[in-house]
Amino acid sequence: MGLVMLALLLWALGWAANAALANGPARGTAAARLAVPLIFGATLLGMWELVVRGLEVPLVILPAPSVIAETFAARTGTLWEDFVQTFLKGALSGYAIGCVAAFAVAIVADRFDFLRRGLLPVGNFMAALPIVGTAPILVMWFGFDWESKAAVVVVMVFFPMLVNTVAGLADTGAMQRDLMRTYGASYLQTLVKLRLPAAMPFVFNGLKISTTLALIGAIVAEFFGSPIRGVGFRISTSVGQLALDMVWAEIAVAALAGTLFYGAIAAIEKRVTFWHPSHRS
């Protein structure tokens, strides 16, 4: 019980520190912007540790962060192997294929209005589907190795990417388009000089949504058959072995990979769409 009280105290302390930082003189600085969420995260971890210890939660239900960290450090080799299998081979290749394919189809659809009008509602519909459900089918079709994971990812990212890109290509002001007409510009010139740059914010929105979808897709697919490595494989196997510390270490890997992936795309976005109001400082 004492430890649980300590957890509450920790929460109060963390919050007070953040309140001081966020409202204090340093509020605008990059350091504060970084420190506040870090303190918040550290507070949560600390509370987790204290509560697990305080209530003596069994290891097989929820391990403490310190135990997870230990496992993480001890099994980096395995974790890396799983990361390569699930993230680099499955998610990333599927992500690349899916996004490029959707982008190409979007450009074709944009060229032929009939196709766009037909494809967009269908694409919108598909984007709302629980496509995770296709995982067992695709594993049956494409085998158990990373190809089937990539296939699931392709299907998952394709439609959000398509819908966003098509919307982006259409997101030019009438005036901007008229301007090109006053120059007597060709279709290709309008596409390259106006529509593609104007579509970039939407394209990147699609790319960002797709990052999380890619990770989910690759991991889900591993539940339906996989080689004996991979994040999803390790998680399900470790649960079966009651090695919950390993499970959480894998979850940490996935969250870390996902955050970095998202962050990388967001960083590229910032450079490419520097001109968009939401990115101007």
Residue closer to other proteins (CB basis): 21 or 92: 21
The set of long-range contacts for 52-55, using a CB threshold of 8 Å and a minimum separation of 24, is 53/3, 54/1, 54/2, 54/3, 54/4, 54/6, 54/7, 55/4
Q: According to the binding rule CB under 8 A, does residue 167 interact with other proteins?
A: yes
Is 203 within 8 Å of 165 (Cβ atoms)? yes
Integer CA distances (angstroms), 280 to 176, 196, 211, in order:
21, 20, 24
Q: According to the binding rule CB under 8 A, does residue 99 interact with other proteins?
A: no
Residue closer to other proteins (CB basis): 49 or 250: 250
**CA gap 222, 232 in Å, rounded:** 5
The residues in 250-269 that bind other proteins, with binding defined as CB under 8 A, are 250-251, 254-255, 257-259, 261-262, 266
Q: According to the binding rule CB under 8 A, does residue 216 interact with other proteins?
A: yes
29, 31, 41, 264: which one binds other proteins (CB under 8 A):
41
Which DSSP category does 170 fall into? T
Is 211 within 8 Å of 123 (Cβ atoms)? no
**CA gap 267, 279 in Å, rounded:** 11
Q: According to the binding rule CB under 8 A, does residue 51 interact with other proteins?
A: no
Minimum Å distance from CB 203 to other proteins? Answer: 10
Residue closer to other proteins (CB basis): 93 or 226: 226
Which contiguous run of DSSP H or E holds residue 153?
helix 146-169
- Tokens standing for residue 225: 């058959």
Q: According to the binding rule CB under 8 A, does residue 36 interact with other proteins?
A: yes
CA angle 92, 136, 258 (to 5 degrees): 30
The residues in 219-238 that bind other proteins, with binding defined as CB under 8 A, are 219-220, 222-228, 231-233, 235-237
Sign of CA dihedral 205, 107, 89, 223: positive
Q: According to the binding rule CB under 8 A, does residue 121 interact with other proteins?
A: yes
The residues in 13-32 that bind other proteins, with binding defined as CB under 8 A, are 15, 18-19, 21-23, 27, 32
101, 132, 170, 265: which one binds other proteins (CB under 8 A):
132
Residue closer to other proteins (CB basis): 66 or 237: 237
Residue closer to other proteins (CB basis): 47 or 194: 194
Q: According to the binding rule CB under 8 A, does residue 93 interact with other proteins?
A: no
Q: According to the binding rule CB under 8 A, does residue 202 interact with other proteins?
A: yes
- Tokens standing for residue 58: 């069994």
